[in-house]
Each structure stands twice: as structure tokens, then as C-alpha cells.
Structure 1
């Protein structure tokens, strides 16, 4: 699982009302930071204090944090907001990456998708995750991985298909017999798509504990475009959560 998620490009972490994905996002961020990578966080849904909670100082000191939670649209006019709003923040991340492996975490991609035109967001994600040089910048980036947390019930088939076409890896989170499971779909250029199902748990310090599961040949194939909650009863309504993001 970790090998599949370590490859550069756009990685979609598709969570749902059945299983939240921020804990896995933080676990992957911790691993990247401890490996010495640059780690940039664009946070839209929770405060910086809440997001950093659970990380030790070694991890927190390596995070470059971009806070869109307090005043994402610069309503307070304090001068602390990013010029150009959310897109300006994404472009600032692109310009600040130096040579070497980089992880960019978007918490969440859903928030950005609800506040930005889909086409414009996809173009920016392409520039972040697939280009060796950012537009207007001469500094090459050896490998960039973009982790996008996506609350899939909030979006229609059009935006989901557009994001999937950009992604090298999609991770759909669900629950299997009370255990968190990640259904991983990898699409690499000139390679056959691969599928893997991995049971896991997140420890209190956001370490990732991988569990033994069924052999790959016995694992059911899950279409990443099919919500894992199809046919189940959600504990809270989509509209309630969407109003929270807005």
C-alpha cells in the first residue's frame, strides 16, 4: 500500500460518511515529513491548531502551512489572506517548492471544488502534480505528490470524473467488518491499471498500522467511481455536511 501511495502525481483520498479520510491524510503527511520531504499543507476545513494536533515537534517543524480556514475569502481585510484567494495559495505552493521530493496535502479538495470552477482547479492540479517546472518558475521539481482529500458524496459525476482523469492513484476508504479498508486503484502511463485492498488502522500518533487481509485474488474489485456507501444508510445527510463546508 505504501509503495503504491509513494509514487508522485495526484492521489485522491476518497472518504465518505462511512469512514473519514483526514486521519489517513495525516498519517501519510507524517511519513513524508519523517522521510525528509518538503511537506506543504493547504488547510481549508479545520484550524491549524487542530490539524497539527497529534504530530510531534519533529513532524510539525517540517510542515509549511497555508491557512485558508480562518479567512479564506479575505473578508476581514487584514492583509493576512493570500493574494488571489485559494488559487493564489495553490500557486504560492507551486513557487515555493525546491528540487527534491515534495508532498502537497489539500484538506480538502472538496472545499476547493465547491469554491472554484472545476476547469480552473483541474488545470492548477495538473500544474502542481504533473509538470516538472511550475509556470513562471525555473526551479525543477524532481517528484511532486499531491494528496487530495475528497468527500465524494458532495460532488456529481462530472467533477468526480474530471478529477479521476487527473489522478495517478485513487484510494476509496470504507469499512470491512468494523475495520478500515483502503481500496487502491492505480493508473500509470503505458501500464495496466492495478487494484489492491488493504486493511489498516491509524495509531494515536498518526502512525499507519497495516493489517493482514485476504489475498489479492480473493479481493472484490471496487469501482473507484462507485460510492462505498451505496445502498447503506448514512449517519448524517449530505446536505448537512455540504452546508458545513460552505
Structure 2
């Protein structure tokens, strides 16, 4: 699923202060460059040097960086782009002025969309985005969004517009022996198909030093092996203890039958059934409790 998101028309990478998504954004940018796509990056939060650091040199010539970071509000009149210029006409004009521009459609990368939303109404931003990826010039829009900087309604509007949303969150610490690479984050991928069907999936991933993306599998897949080992160790201990009982063989067979059952069957066996009977007994002051025969005065 993580590799399929690259074909989305509008892909939103959402992050928080606890887990940044810029490395994933750079990985998606490099993937577009390796597909020989022209990539235009509108950088509002980091410099061109910082954004392009680590990307493969042989692909950088297809990347055009529009500097909206060094002078974000154009106070020095030196900025090539500002958040207030985030309109369809201005963005397309900047793309058309690129020296390596040709008839090919481009991939538009926004780092980040949060800076644009802090200076423009969300309705205007969403309208501009829709016009951009619905036109013939822009093939794909990839935007980074810091969800903890905006109200829930703003985030919801942008995510509703996006065909694919990748929400990154911190990955829980796990023993390094489970995988050869420690996961960077947990990605929750929500894809909206043209038919209206919504698909949701979770995957652990990491971004390597060369900004290639490595998917480490789903949470259930990574947690199944250690949990199975712990459960297996507990089962072996119980089986050894049952062998010393007089009815050890029968109890062992019942024990194995239970643990070899599928999880739904186990759950049903552990839950009390509605048609089962229960005996409730609460002694009163008149009861004569006999420790040797505590049931001698039960009236059943």
C-alpha cells in the first residue's frame, strides 16, 4: 500500500511534532525523480540545500526548487514565491518559467501546505489545489501537512480533498532482533477509490539514508512472532506440569484442543454463555459454618 500511494493524484502526508513526515516527503520526491518526472518543490519551511541534501545527484537536474523560505513574506523583496501567491495562476506561471520545462506534466511538492494555510483561507487553498491537479499541467500534488497546527475542520477539508492520506505516527519500540531495520514510524494509509470505496491500511516503514523507502510490514505481522514465542513457552510449561497429575493425559488433550482452536473459538469458550446456569450463595448470620463440611447447611 505504501508503494501504491505514489500514483495518487493528490497525496497528503500528515504529521505532528511527535513524528515528522519530511523524510517521507523527500522519499516520495526522489521516487518521482527516479520515474523521470519533472518535480517542482515549493519550499516554505526549509532551504533548498536542506531539502535536496541526500537526494541522488543524477536526478537533481529534474528538480526545480521555488524558494519561499528565505524571505517568506517578501519583506526584502528577494523571495521567488510567498504563501500569498499560492493561486492557480501564480503556481502555473512559476512552473512555466522553469529552465528545463517542456511539454511533460510535472509533480508538485508542497513543503509544507501548513504554511500556506496559515496565510490563506482554507476554501481558497482547497480550490487552488483542486484546480491544479485537475488540470493538464500538474500530474500529481504531494503535500506535507502538520495536523497539530490547524483546527480539525481545516485538516478534514484538506484530507477529504486528497485521494490518498498518509498519517505518520511514532512507531513503538521493539527489540532490534525482530527486523534488521528499526521502523521510523507507523503509517496509516487511507485511499479513496474513484468508485467511492475507502481502503485503510497500517504499515511500519523507515526511510533509509539514501531516502529509499523500506516497508517493514503491518503491525499484526511484526507482533505475531514474538507473541507466538511467548505463548508457546507458556504452553510448554503448563504441559509439563499436567504430566504429573493422575489425569494428566486427559487434561493435556483438553489443553491442546483449546490452544489449537482458532481465536474466535477460544474467545467463545472463555466467555460465559447466556443459557448457562449459575449458583449464587451468600451466607447470612444464622448460618452455621463448618470448616470441615462447608456445604452441610445448603438448602438447594
User: TM-score scaled to structure 2, two decimals?
Assistant: 0.63
In the alignment of these two chains, the number of paired residues is 207
Q: What does residue 35 of structure 1 align with?
A: 35
**Residue 198 of structure 1: SS of its match in structure 2?**
strand
Q: Give the Cα–Cα distance (whole angstroms) in 1 for the partners of residues 208 and 159 of structure 2.
A: 29
Render the CA deviation track for 1:127-179: whole Å, top value 9, x for unaligned.
112x13xxxxxxx34x7221110110110022112112211011110123233
Q: Give the Cα–Cα distance (whole angstroms) in 2 for the partners of residues 215 and 104 of structure 1.
A: 34
* Deviation at residue 2 of structure 1 after TM alignment: 4.0
Identify, as 1 or 2, the structure richer in helix. 2
The yes-or-no answer on 1:86 pairing with 2:90 is no
Q: Give the Cα–Cα distance (whole angstroms) in 1 for the partners of residues 85 and 153 of structure 2.
A: 21
Question: Which runs of 5 or more structure 2 residues have no equivalent in the other structure?
Answer: 174-182, 224-300
Equivalent residues of 1:94, 1:128 under 8 A apart: no
CA distance 1:54–1:84, shift in 2 (3 Å) = closer
Q: Give the Cα–Cα distance (whole angstroms) in 2 for the partners of residues 177 and 3 of structure 1.
A: 22
Q: What does residue 54 of structure 2 align with?
A: 54
* Deviation at residue 87 of structure 1 after TM alignment: 1.5
Q: Give the Cα–Cα distance (whole angstroms) in 2 for the partners of residues 19 and 110 of structure 1.
A: 15
Q: Give the Cα–Cα distance (whole angstroms) in 1 for the partners of residues 166 and 102 of structure 2.
A: 27
* Deviation at residue 82 of structure 1 after TM alignment: 3.7
Q: Give the Cα–Cα distance (whole angstroms) in 1 for the partners of residues 165 and 193 of structure 2.
A: 12
The yes-or-no answer on 1:186 pairing with 2:191 is yes
Q: Give the Cα–Cα distance (whole angstroms) in 2 for the partners of residues 182 and 100 of structure 1.
A: 31
Aligned match for 2:162, one of 151, 163, 167: 167
Which one scores higher on RCO, CA 8 angstroms, separation ≥ 6? 1
CA distance 1:48–1:99, shift in 2 (3 Å) = same
Q: Give the Cα–Cα distance (whole angstroms) in 2 for the partners of residues 169 and 103 of structure 1.
A: 15
Larger Rg: 2
Render the CA deviation track for 1:76-97: whole Å, top value 9, x for unaligned.
124x534894315534356567
Aligned match for 1:201, one of 188, 206, 220: 206
Q: What does residue 67 of structure 1 align with?
A: 67
**Residue 204 of structure 1: SS of its match in structure 2?**
coil
Q: Give the Cα–Cα distance (whole angstroms) in 2 for the partners of residues 83 and 115 of structure 1.
A: 10
Equivalent residues of 1:43, 1:68 under 8 A apart: yes
